[in-house]
Structure 1
Amino acid sequence: MSNPIKVATTSSVPPGRGILVDADGLLLALFNIDGVFYAIDDACPHQGAPLSEGAVRGCVVICPWHAAEFEIPTGKLLCAPGTRDVQTYPVTIDGDDVMVDID
Protein backbone atom coordinates (compact mmCIF):
# COMPACT_ATOMS: atom_id res chain seq x y z
CA MET A 1 0.00 0.00 0.00
CA SER A 2 1.43 3.35 -1.01
CA ASN A 3 1.67 6.25 1.39
CA PRO A 4 2.50 9.44 -0.55
CA ILE A 5 4.54 12.05 1.29
CA LYS A 6 4.04 15.80 0.95
CA VAL A 7 7.31 17.27 -0.32
CA ALA A 8 6.31 20.72 -1.60
CA THR A 9 3.49 22.95 -2.76
CA THR A 10 2.81 23.50 -6.44
CA SER A 11 3.69 27.19 -6.09
CA SER A 12 7.16 26.37 -4.69
CA VAL A 13 8.37 24.83 -7.98
CA PRO A 14 8.48 27.33 -10.85
CA PRO A 15 7.69 25.96 -14.33
CA GLY A 16 10.79 24.69 -16.12
CA ARG A 17 12.77 24.37 -12.90
CA GLY A 18 13.74 21.82 -10.30
CA ILE A 19 14.12 21.98 -6.53
CA LEU A 20 15.62 19.70 -3.91
CA VAL A 21 13.07 18.00 -1.64
CA ASP A 22 13.36 15.58 1.26
CA ALA A 23 10.96 12.63 1.22
CA ASP A 24 11.49 10.99 4.62
CA GLY A 25 15.28 11.25 4.29
CA LEU A 26 15.40 10.44 0.58
CA LEU A 27 16.72 13.44 -1.39
CA LEU A 28 14.83 13.95 -4.63
CA ALA A 29 14.85 16.45 -7.46
CA LEU A 30 11.30 17.69 -8.04
CA PHE A 31 10.55 19.29 -11.42
CA ASN A 32 7.65 21.27 -12.84
CA ILE A 33 7.43 20.73 -16.59
CA ASP A 34 4.53 22.76 -18.00
CA GLY A 35 2.46 22.18 -14.86
CA VAL A 36 3.23 18.45 -14.62
CA PHE A 37 5.39 17.44 -11.65
CA TYR A 38 8.09 14.74 -11.69
CA ALA A 39 10.42 13.38 -9.01
CA ILE A 40 13.76 11.65 -9.61
CA ASP A 41 16.78 10.80 -7.47
CA ASP A 42 18.70 14.01 -6.83
CA ALA A 43 22.18 12.48 -7.06
CA CYS A 44 23.64 11.97 -10.52
CA PRO A 45 24.95 8.39 -10.68
CA HIS A 46 28.23 9.59 -12.24
CA GLN A 47 29.64 11.49 -9.25
CA GLY A 48 26.68 12.49 -7.09
CA ALA A 49 25.99 15.97 -8.45
CA PRO A 50 22.66 17.50 -7.39
CA LEU A 51 20.34 17.14 -10.39
CA SER A 52 17.93 19.59 -8.74
CA GLU A 53 20.51 22.29 -9.57
CA GLY A 54 20.81 21.27 -13.22
CA ALA A 55 19.57 23.27 -16.18
CA VAL A 56 16.25 22.09 -17.60
CA ARG A 57 15.69 22.03 -21.36
CA GLY A 58 12.23 20.79 -22.21
CA CYS A 59 11.90 17.43 -20.43
CA VAL A 60 15.66 16.99 -19.92
CA VAL A 61 17.81 17.89 -16.93
CA ILE A 62 21.52 18.50 -17.48
CA CYS A 63 23.86 17.54 -14.65
CA PRO A 64 25.48 20.72 -13.30
CA TRP A 65 28.91 19.12 -12.87
CA HIS A 66 29.64 17.13 -16.03
CA ALA A 67 26.65 17.66 -18.36
CA ALA A 68 25.18 14.15 -18.33
CA GLU A 69 21.57 14.41 -19.52
CA PHE A 70 18.53 12.63 -18.11
CA GLU A 71 14.96 12.50 -19.38
CA ILE A 72 12.95 13.81 -16.44
CA PRO A 73 9.70 11.80 -16.90
CA THR A 74 11.49 8.45 -17.25
CA GLY A 75 14.89 8.95 -15.57
CA LYS A 76 16.54 7.61 -18.73
CA LEU A 77 20.21 8.49 -19.23
CA LEU A 78 20.59 10.28 -22.57
CA CYS A 79 24.35 10.88 -22.73
CA ALA A 80 27.68 10.29 -21.02
CA PRO A 81 29.35 10.70 -18.64
CA GLY A 82 26.35 9.37 -16.76
CA THR A 83 26.61 5.70 -15.91
CA ARG A 84 22.97 4.62 -15.61
CA ASP A 85 19.37 5.82 -15.47
CA VAL A 86 18.06 7.51 -12.32
CA GLN A 87 15.10 6.28 -10.28
CA THR A 88 11.75 8.01 -10.80
CA TYR A 89 8.95 8.30 -8.24
CA PRO A 90 5.19 8.71 -8.76
CA VAL A 91 3.93 12.23 -8.08
CA THR A 92 0.36 13.25 -7.32
CA ILE A 93 -1.18 16.62 -6.61
CA ASP A 94 -3.64 17.03 -3.73
CA GLY A 95 -4.98 20.58 -3.78
CA ASP A 96 -1.75 22.64 -3.71
CA ASP A 97 0.31 19.82 -2.13
CA VAL A 98 2.85 17.88 -4.19
CA MET A 99 2.91 14.29 -2.98
CA VAL A 100 5.60 11.69 -3.82
CA ASP A 101 5.29 7.94 -3.37
CA ILE A 102 8.67 6.46 -2.38
CA ASP A 103 7.44 2.95 -1.59
Structure 2
Amino acid sequence: MSTGTLNQIIVCSAAELSPGRRKVVTLDNNVIVIVNSDGKLYGFQSRCPHQGAPLEFGSISGAMKDSEPHQYEYGCHNQVVRCPLHGWGFDMETGQSLFSSKVKIKTYEIKEVNDSIVLYVTRKPTKVSVTDLPVGCS
Protein backbone atom coordinates (compact mmCIF):
# COMPACT_ATOMS: atom_id res chain seq x y z
CA MET A 1 0.00 0.00 0.00
CA SER A 2 1.22 3.49 -0.79
CA THR A 3 2.52 5.65 2.04
CA GLY A 4 0.85 8.74 0.54
CA THR A 5 -2.53 10.16 1.47
CA LEU A 6 -5.33 7.65 1.04
CA ASN A 7 -8.88 8.49 0.01
CA GLN A 8 -11.65 6.95 2.07
CA ILE A 9 -14.69 5.53 0.28
CA ILE A 10 -17.64 4.58 2.50
CA VAL A 11 -18.95 1.38 0.91
CA CYS A 12 -21.92 0.56 3.16
CA SER A 13 -22.96 0.12 6.76
CA ALA A 14 -21.26 -2.68 8.65
CA ALA A 15 -24.67 -4.38 9.03
CA GLU A 16 -24.94 -4.63 5.22
CA LEU A 17 -21.72 -6.64 4.99
CA SER A 18 -22.28 -9.42 7.49
CA PRO A 19 -20.03 -12.53 7.43
CA GLY A 20 -20.38 -14.38 4.14
CA ARG A 21 -21.50 -11.30 2.19
CA ARG A 22 -19.75 -9.53 -0.69
CA LYS A 23 -20.00 -6.14 -2.36
CA VAL A 24 -18.67 -5.01 -5.73
CA VAL A 25 -17.37 -1.45 -5.75
CA THR A 26 -16.73 0.28 -9.06
CA LEU A 27 -14.46 3.31 -8.85
CA ASP A 28 -14.47 4.86 -12.32
CA ASN A 29 -13.33 1.79 -14.35
CA ASN A 30 -11.70 -0.07 -11.46
CA VAL A 31 -13.77 -2.95 -10.03
CA ILE A 32 -13.01 -4.04 -6.45
CA VAL A 33 -14.51 -6.91 -4.47
CA ILE A 34 -15.15 -6.41 -0.75
CA VAL A 35 -15.62 -9.61 1.27
CA ASN A 36 -16.52 -10.32 4.88
CA SER A 37 -15.12 -13.79 5.49
CA ASP A 38 -15.76 -15.00 9.04
CA GLY A 39 -15.72 -11.39 10.28
CA LYS A 40 -12.43 -10.47 8.54
CA LEU A 41 -12.66 -7.85 5.79
CA TYR A 42 -10.81 -8.19 2.48
CA GLY A 43 -10.65 -6.04 -0.63
CA PHE A 44 -9.13 -7.09 -3.96
CA GLN A 45 -9.31 -6.47 -7.70
CA SER A 46 -12.20 -8.17 -9.43
CA ARG A 47 -10.45 -9.56 -12.50
CA CYS A 48 -8.35 -12.71 -12.51
CA PRO A 49 -5.00 -11.98 -14.21
CA HIS A 50 -5.27 -15.18 -16.26
CA GLN A 51 -8.28 -14.47 -18.48
CA GLY A 52 -10.14 -11.70 -16.70
CA ALA A 53 -12.88 -13.76 -15.04
CA PRO A 54 -14.77 -11.86 -12.30
CA LEU A 55 -13.39 -12.97 -8.94
CA GLU A 56 -16.51 -11.78 -7.11
CA PHE A 57 -18.12 -15.05 -8.25
CA GLY A 58 -15.20 -17.21 -7.10
CA SER A 59 -15.45 -19.64 -4.22
CA ILE A 60 -13.75 -18.84 -0.94
CA SER A 61 -11.93 -21.61 0.87
CA GLY A 62 -8.55 -22.51 2.31
CA ALA A 63 -5.63 -24.40 0.84
CA MET A 64 -3.17 -27.13 1.63
CA LYS A 65 0.00 -25.79 3.24
CA ASP A 66 3.55 -26.84 2.40
CA SER A 67 4.31 -29.96 4.38
CA GLU A 68 6.44 -33.06 4.54
CA PRO A 69 5.66 -36.04 2.24
CA HIS A 70 2.50 -37.87 3.32
CA GLN A 71 1.62 -35.05 5.72
CA TYR A 72 -1.46 -33.02 4.79
CA GLU A 73 -1.99 -29.73 6.56
CA TYR A 74 -4.90 -27.44 5.70
CA GLY A 75 -4.51 -23.69 6.27
CA CYS A 76 -5.64 -20.20 5.29
CA HIS A 77 -9.24 -21.15 6.11
CA ASN A 78 -11.67 -18.88 4.22
CA GLN A 79 -8.78 -16.66 3.08
CA VAL A 80 -8.41 -17.92 -0.51
CA VAL A 81 -10.58 -16.79 -3.43
CA ARG A 82 -10.61 -19.06 -6.48
CA CYS A 83 -11.23 -17.90 -10.02
CA PRO A 84 -14.62 -19.26 -11.15
CA LEU A 85 -13.24 -20.02 -14.63
CA HIS A 86 -10.05 -22.02 -14.06
CA GLY A 87 -9.70 -22.26 -10.27
CA TRP A 88 -6.61 -20.11 -9.82
CA GLY A 89 -6.33 -19.35 -6.09
CA PHE A 90 -5.31 -16.06 -4.49
CA ASP A 91 -4.73 -15.15 -0.85
CA MET A 92 -7.29 -12.38 -0.25
CA GLU A 93 -5.05 -10.68 2.32
CA THR A 94 -1.84 -10.44 0.28
CA GLY A 95 -3.11 -10.98 -3.28
CA GLN A 96 -0.42 -13.61 -3.81
CA SER A 97 -1.34 -16.52 -6.06
CA LEU A 98 -1.07 -20.03 -4.64
CA PHE A 99 0.87 -21.33 -7.64
CA SER A 100 3.46 -18.70 -8.57
CA SER A 101 5.35 -15.96 -6.75
CA LYS A 102 5.20 -13.94 -9.99
CA VAL A 103 1.39 -13.67 -10.11
CA LYS A 104 -0.80 -11.68 -7.74
CA ILE A 105 -3.91 -9.54 -7.61
CA LYS A 106 -4.07 -6.03 -6.18
CA THR A 107 -5.43 -5.82 -2.65
CA TYR A 108 -6.97 -2.87 -0.83
CA GLU A 109 -7.18 -1.80 2.77
CA ILE A 110 -10.69 -2.24 4.22
CA LYS A 111 -11.76 -1.25 7.74
CA GLU A 112 -14.88 -0.95 9.81
CA VAL A 113 -15.04 2.64 11.05
CA ASN A 114 -17.98 4.01 13.08
CA ASP A 115 -20.29 1.18 11.90
CA SER A 116 -19.35 1.76 8.23
CA ILE A 117 -17.23 -0.31 5.86
CA VAL A 118 -14.49 1.94 4.47
CA LEU A 119 -12.30 1.27 1.43
CA TYR A 120 -8.96 3.10 1.16
CA VAL A 121 -7.61 3.99 -2.30
CA THR A 122 -4.75 6.13 -3.57
CA ARG A 123 -6.64 7.90 -6.37
CA LYS A 124 -9.80 9.86 -5.71
CA PRO A 125 -12.50 8.47 -8.05
CA THR A 126 -14.92 10.67 -9.97
CA LYS A 127 -17.64 8.00 -10.00
CA VAL A 128 -18.44 5.39 -7.33
CA SER A 129 -21.05 2.64 -7.45
CA VAL A 130 -21.66 -0.24 -5.04
CA THR A 131 -23.45 -3.44 -6.01
CA ASP A 132 -24.70 -6.23 -3.77
CA LEU A 133 -24.08 -9.82 -4.74
CA PRO A 134 -27.12 -11.95 -4.00
CA VAL A 135 -26.55 -14.59 -1.32
CA GLY A 136 -25.75 -17.90 -3.00
CA CYS A 137 -23.99 -16.35 -6.01
CA SER A 138 -20.57 -17.22 -4.70
Q: Does 1:5 align with 2:9?
A: yes
Q: Identify unmatched segments of 5+ residues in structure 2.
A: 62-77, 123-138
Residues 54 and 25 of structure 1: CA distance in aligned 2, closer, same or farther (over 3 Å): same
Q: 2:92 aligns with which of 66, 72, 83?
A: 72
TM-score normalised to structure 2 length: 0.65
Q: Which has the larger radius of gyration?
A: 2
Q: Give the secondary structure class of the aligned counterpart of 2:121.
A: coil
Q: RMSD between aligned alpha carbons? A: 1.9
SS at match of 2:15: helix
Tell me which residue corresponds to 1:100.
119
User: How many Å apart are 1:95 and its aligned residue?
Assistant: 2.2
Equivalent residue, structure 2, for 1:89: 108
TM-score, scaled relative to structure 1 = 0.84
Give 2:81's aligned residue. 61
User: Which consecutive segments of 4 or more residues in structure 1 shift more than 6 A?
Assistant: none
Question: How many residues of Structure 1 are paired with residues of Structure 2 in the alignment?
Answer: 101
CA separation of 1:44 and 1:55: change in aligned 2, threshold 3 A: same
Amino acid at match of 1:95: N
The structure-2 alpha-carbon separation of the partners of 1:24 and 1:8, relative to structure 1 and needing over 3 Å to count, comes to farther
- 3-state SS of 2:7 partner: coil
What residue in structure 2 maps to residue 26 of structure 1?
30
Letter of the 2:51 counterpart? Q
